[in-house]
Each structure stands twice: as C-alpha cells, then as structure tokens.
Amino acid sequence: MRNISDIRRHGVGEPTFLIVGVNHRTGAQLLRERLQGDASDLVKLLGRCLESGITQAIAVATCDRCEVWCVTPDAAVAQATLTALLAEAGGLSEAEIAPRLHALTEDAALRYAFAVAASLESQIVGEPQVLGQVKELQQLAQHAGMTGPELDRILEAAYQAAKRVRSETGIAGQSVSMAACAVSVLRRMHGDVSGLGGLLIGDGDLAEMIFEQVSATGMKRWTMVHPQERRARAWAERNHAHWRPFGELPQALAASDLTVSALDLGAEAVSVDIVKAALKARKRRPILLIDSGVPGDMDARIAGLDDAFLYTLDDLERLAMAGRQHRASEAEEAWRIVDQSVASFRRQVTEQAAAPVIADLRRHFEQHRAEVLAQPGIDAAEATRRLLNRLLHHPSLALKAAAPAKDLEGALRRLFGLNDKEDKK
C-alpha cells in the first residue's frame, strides 16, 4: 500500500479517489473494534465528514476493516481531516492513530476497492458477504446524503468487477464450501439440526457464512456473545436471535451444540477448561467447535477432549476443496480481472472527460467550414486550402510555443494518426 505522504504529490482541484483507515493487515483487531460501530455511529462519522467539507464518502466498516472511501478535490487535506475524524471515532489522539492508518489514492485506491468488493482483500478470500456489506454501506451513505456521481460510478465499477470475479473464477465457491462443510460435519454428528442450538463468539465473516448455511438447514436457535455488548445486541436484533454478555460465555457454550468463534483477538477466548465444564454440564452430549480466528481463538488442546470436535480454518479447507494451491491459482486470475477492470474504468473516465472537448472541436471545425464555403467565387481547391489554414493557425502557434516539450513529435503523430514513412513521402 502507498504511504500517506505519497498523496501529497497530487494536485488540488481534480476529483481524487481516496481511502483512509485500517484493515486486518494494517490495524490490530482491538483498534478496528474501537473504530467500528453500528449504523448510527457510521452516520455520525459521515455527518462529521460533511461538516469538514468532504461531500462524497462511504464508511466501510466490516469485521476486516474500518475505512472511509471518498472523492475529494484535495487528497492531502482530506487525508488529514479523516485522520482526525477516525481518531475522534476511536477515542484516540491523532498522534496515536496516524501511524496505524493506511491511505491509498487514484489507481491504488481503485484497485483496492475493486479487490475488496471481489473479496480478495478479506481474511477469508472469496467469502461472499463483503459485496453485500459494501452495497448496504453505500445505501447508508446515500440516505445520509453523502454520495455523488463520481463515488457512485466508482462503486458501480467495483461491483461489476466483483461480478466478473465470481462468474469467471471459482474463488467464491471455495469459501462457501467451507461453511457447507461445517453443515455436513454437524449433520453427521447430530442428524436433524432443527432442534439444535448455535453460538457465535464474535461476528466475523466466516461465522456469518456458517450461520446462514446452518440456518438454511432448519436450525433457528442462535446466541451471540461479543466483547462489545452493543455489537452482540445489534447482531441479535438484526438476525432475530439472542445475545449474552461476554462474561456468560461458559454458560452459553454449555447450551450450544455448535460453537463458532470469530474474534481474531490474537489471544485465547475459549480454554480447554471451559469446554470441559461445558461437556460435563451437557452430560457428554458432543459439541462441534469451529475456530475461524486468525490466529485462533480456541485452545488447540480442545481437540483432545472426548465429545469435543474442534475444526480450524485449515481443517475446513482440507475437507472442502483441493487446497491452497487451487485457491492461489483462482486468486491470481481474480486479480487479473480486477486489474483489467481498473484499466477499463480509467479509460471510460478519460473518454467521458474528453467528450465535451471533442464536441466543441467538431463545432469549431464546422463553423470554419461553413464560413469558408460561404465565401463567393472560390473553387474547391481554394476552399480546402483556406480551411486548412484556418484550422491549423492556432494549433501551429501553440505548438511553436510548446516546442521544447518532451516527445512533442510523437504526441502529434499519435494525435493525428500520422505514419513516419507516409509523412516523409
């Protein structure tokens, strides 16, 4: 990713696409959690952006990232503004948060946004939720009056790139199959799942996928626990489920047949002793535990307990697909599509920007043609000679003034489609 200082090379005035924030690579989970909030928090952040002069912005807050994507005429000023606003949102000083932020602009920002929509910038590459999340966040920004034609055009191009990745590669199917694999294991353990209960520890992307897959098979009793209780409450309200304080994790675990962790705290959240106590309370009824944290949230020794069946992301991948080599191959093709989409979007923007000038040029030429043809008593040869003189007069003066410019001759030949050999004849 480009350094924030690189942004300062860009000029002021032209609309610039800018991304500032943290993601799962650049910011620790605890920092991301301090910045993330519910819809009202995001609307508040967007409102602060508007008050600060940023009129087109979307707050992209998911489990993997908390960023602001915006279009601005001055990237350097907007970057400083967003640093201050993100510090405010996280209850930190600017000095504390600035070194942890990443910032991207222009083509680097486009490539990143397209890759996020295509799920290439997720901890679980290929997971399908992120595209829907970005669309929902765009709608939130629209309701807050914070979108505009430039930003909407970028987001629509990102969605089209994601659609191509999903239809032309197998990268999306691999992540979905990991959730389907969890369903298969659960059914082998318990048969009918309709009377079972599930527990989510955190709201990470794979946990959401497993929740959707298992719910679709008939399991409706779900509980959420999260270190941030407001996130647990918000998730429970959104999914018509229950939530419990994080301190009640041992009781929630004992009441659940399937437990999925998705905290990514970098520390153990589910110990072997907690699972032992849960199994005792359950009278040895088995528990399926899926640790989707990176690094893991669960003590690896749980796998050695009778009636506790622990699966990690690697376990699910080995069961579900042909392995990491296939995924890397699919990702390589997906990145090629993203790069093609960025280049195509850039061409479209350039062509659209040139259209008014081309229209003015045609009107200018037509005006001169009409004036020359209206002059009395000249034949076709004289008319065309006069027309050429008129059309080339101002360009010739401008070109003489710009003669020292680098590769001027090459630019002219490209502009008018001149061939060196034909030109010398």
pLDDT tens digits along 93-116: 999 889 989 999 999 999 999 999
Which residues does the annotation mark as catalytic? Answer: 63
Tens of pLDDT along 272-291?
Answer: 999 999 999 998 789 999 99
Tens of pLDDT along 6-30?
Answer: 433 344 557 899 999 998 887 666 5
pLDDT at 10: 44
Which has the closest alpha carbon to 68: 81, 76, 144?
Answer: 81
What does the pLDDT average to over 33-57? 87
Instruction: With a cut of 50, say whether residue 424 has pLDDT above it.
Output: no
Give CA–CA dist 393/396, Å, rounded. 5
H or E stretch including 109? helix 106-117
Query: What is the average pLDDT score of the chain?
Result: 83
Give CA–CA dist 186/216, Å, rounded. 13
Q: pTM value?
A: 0.61
The DSSP code sequence of 40-84 is HHHHHHHHHHHHTT--EEEEEEETTEEEEEEEES-HHHHHHHHHH
Q: Cis (ω within 30 of 0) for the bond into 295? A: yes
% of the chain surpassing 90 pLDDT: 44
**Banded model confidence at residue 55, pLDDT cuts 50, 70, 90:** very high
Domains and CATH numbers, the chain: 4-165 (3.30.460.30), 172-324 (3.40.50.720)
Task: Extract the tokens encoding 420.
Answer: 């060196």
Tens of pLDDT along 140-176?
Answer: 999 999 999 999 999 999 999 999 998 998 886 655 5
pLDDT at 422: 47
Using the structure block, give the residue that is written with the tokens 């505009």.
148
Task: Extract the tokens encoding 82.
Answer: 């967003």
Give CA–CA dist 59/151, Å, rounded. 12
> Residue-wise over 102-125: b if at least 16 C-beta within 10 A, else e?
bbbbbebbbbbbbbbbbbbbbbbb
